[in-house]
Chain A
């Protein structure tokens, strides 16, 4: 079945450090890929997405590139802030109209940015 694997956290960084969170997937076919972010006490928010190979999603200084050859969608940010402290989830979707867009999530990576 489809699955998403993320690096385990927590990841602890200092402000202005470079952040990378690895995400790899297994799936039959070509899913769309997403990163969601969950701030403390809140639900998940869509951070960025990519719908086909070599697409780059970007938002709020975060970037991720859909790499079909390595089945990866690693999240990066060049200079993190304390406000980026959150749990980050990698997810994939297959377009199955009759069944809705069913997300498959990774286990989440907690990121803690210290001042």
Chain B
């Protein structure tokens, strides 16, 4: 009963390095989301996807790219990491766009950029 799985759980990068965060869900959900969580600001939507092969920008997309090549996976990429991207990143998925369908969250990835 895995639900939403994020890898890695922790990572430290140097400014300018690149990396990819992986999100995998086993619930056959159509919609997937990437958020970042910063103190006092709740969660802010970075990018989202409404189905395999589709992606769209959220509230704070700059400096990030995403891909949804397979329905169960949603990748978040940082091409050139900056200290401002130090945050906790959460992936979520939902069955549909209906507001009655709750989003299921992973346990988060803590990312530090030095």
A interface with B by C-beta (< 8 Å): 4, 8, 31-32, 34, 36, 41-46, 49, 51, 89, 91, 93-103, 105-108
Contact = CB atoms under 8 A, between A and B. Distances in A.
Interface string B7-43: 0000000000000000000000001010000001111
B106 A99 contact: no
Given A97-B96, A101-B99, A89 B42 contact: yes
Given A43-B4, A46-B102, A49-B102, A101 B94 contact: yes
B98 A97 contact: yes
B94 A100 contact: yes
Given A44-B105, A91-B42, 10 more contacts: A41-B107, A43-B107, A44-B92, A45-B105, A46-B103, A49-B100, A100-B50, A100-B94, A102-B45, A107-B42
B103 A42 contact: no
Interface of B: 4, 31, 33, 40-45, 48-50, 56, 58, 90, 92, 94, 96-108
A103 B103 contact: yes
Contacts of B107: 41-43
Contacts of A97: 96-98
A-B CB proximity, top 5 nearest = A105-B42, A43-B105, A32-B99, A97-B97, A100-B31
A41 B48 CA distance: 23
Given A43-B106, A101-B31, A94 B50 contact: no
Contacts of B43: 44, 89, 103, 105
Give the interface centre of B4, B48, B97, B98 by most chain A CB atoms within 10 Å.
B97
Given A43-B105, A100-B50, A108 B42 contact: yes
A99 B105 contact: no
Contact of A101 (B4, B101, B105, B106): B101
A51 B97 contact: no
B50 A98 contact: yes
A31 B99 CA distance: 8
Nearest to B48: A100
